Chain A
Amino acid sequence: MLDRREFVRQLLIDRGDLLVVPGLGSATYDVAAAGDHPLNFYLWGAMGGTAMIGLGLALAQPERRVAVLTGDGDLLMGLGSLATIGVKQPDNLVIVVLDNARYGETGMQPSATENGIDLVAMALACRFKHARAVTRLHEAAEVRTLLHEGKGPILVNAKIKAEDTPRVLPLRDGHAIKQRFIEALNSA
């Protein structure tokens, strides 16, 4: 099982102009803890929508790489989006699920993945080009390569420890997060 903070930190080393969409809750805190960046579109709500924001962005910016980093609860709420993404086959989109099999923000209640629901199999059934589970930190380098070079759509199910981590709170004003992102993308 992975230490989520260290895993995300390693994924975002030398990120270049990677576009990062972290899902609400711990994924947003993990990405902020790895270092604030204008090309992070932090979510504080819109649960279930993170993967679809990634799709819209990937379609709009086909020459850039888009990484969605989100929790199992967020992805489970929008499972249909795996089918939607599978239809469009964006080759520049990678989804990393930080899967602690828990709803961490609300008291660590078990999620469907705790009960054997298999996100990797779902992604493959939805015509993702590649999907795999990772459980060890040394695999972070391979996942980082997938983020920058892998032919998408790709889903990585990162099995992380169920633990409370200190909250690292980035920008919360949606207009400011959006505007900063767009300005950085236009100048990158």
Chain B
Amino acid sequence: MHTPVDIEASWPDAIYAQFRRVGIRQVGYVPDAGHSRLIALCCDDPHIADVVLTTEEEGVGLVAGAALGGQRAALLMQSSGVGNCINMFSLLRNCGFGCVVLVTMRGEFGEFNPWQVPMGTITEDVLRLSGFLTYRVDGADTVDDIVGAGCDMAFDGNLQVAILLSQRLIGRKQWTR
């Protein structure tokens, strides 16, 4: 029986495939429900060092160290984590370290928790002010294309690229009330 690929559920696989294509060897993350499948894929890959961070700005240092040692690295975080990184981002810009940050968005479409809204609504602006190119993904069918293009710009040009995975893509967080 033919099983159609469920593109709605498999977008993390598309990101992982891009990580493999461009040779990402270190992935730093603060866990997030939206990133859970991608984190699991990276943790299962012996070619990728998975580094669970206590706070997102640690990941900025990790990326810099990896690049000094000749490895490409990516960071996974939630929009709230972007705010934790602001000063540390200066390391990437000052030295021209290529970096891809995948940000799962909270505090936007259908957000249940108002405490996520203040950071979620300024996340993209903060990234731009910090020197990042930002790309937004709203639909599963464009994940592969946008993540691929972002990775190429980051690592071919030593640029800082952030890809914002919208709350519509990830799905609203389901709450038990």
**A residues within 8 Å of B by Cβ?**
19, 21, 41, 44-61, 78, 80-81, 83-84, 87-88, 174-175, 177-178, 181-182, 185-186
Contact = CB atoms under 8 A, between A and B. Distances in A.
A79 to B, nearest CB: 8
B91 A49 contact: yes
B49 A57 contact: no
B31 interface: no
A165 B94 CA distance: 27
Contact of A178 (B26, B58, B68, B87): B68
A56 B68 contact: yes
Contacts, number: 121
B113 interface: no
Interface of B: 25-26, 49, 51-55, 57-71, 73, 87-88, 90-91, 94-97
A181 B61 contact: no
Nearest to A81: B58
A93 to B, nearest CB: 10
Contact of A53 (B26, B54, B61, B87): B61
B56 to A, nearest CB: 10
A49 B58 contact: yes
B54 A59 contact: no
A83 B54 contact: yes
A55 B52 CA distance: 12
A56 B61 contact: yes
* Majority DSSP secondary structure for residues of A touching B: helix
Contacts of B91: 45-46, 49, 53, 174
B37 to A, nearest CB: 21
Given A45-B90, A80-B58, A56 B66 contact: yes
B68 A53 contact: yes
A175 B59 CA distance: 20
Given A84-B51, A88-B49, A186 B60 contact: no
Contact of B96 (A41, A84, A178): A178
B98 to A, nearest CB: 11
**The 7 residue pairs across chains A and B that have the minimum distance between CB atoms:** A56-B65, A60-B69, A52-B61, A80-B54, A49-B61, A174-B94, A174-B95
Given A56-B26, A60-B26, A178-B96, A51 B68 contact: no
Nearest to A62: B69
Given A51-B61, A56-B73, A78-B58, A45 B66 contact: no
A186 B70 contact: yes
Contact of A84 (B53, B60, B63): B53
B65 A80 contact: no
A52 B57 CA distance: 9
Contacts of A81: 54, 58, 61
A19 B64 CA distance: 14
B88 A48 contact: yes
A49 B92 CA distance: 12
A94 to B, nearest CB: 14
Contacts of B57: 48-49, 78
27 contacts: A44-B94, A45-B91, A45-B94, A46-B87, A47-B87, A52-B61, A53-B65, A57-B65, A59-B49, A59-B51, A59-B65, A59-B66, A61-B69, A78-B58, A80-B55, A81-B54, A81-B61, A83-B54, A84-B53, A84-B58, A88-B51, A174-B96, A175-B94, A175-B96, A178-B95, A178-B96, A185-B68
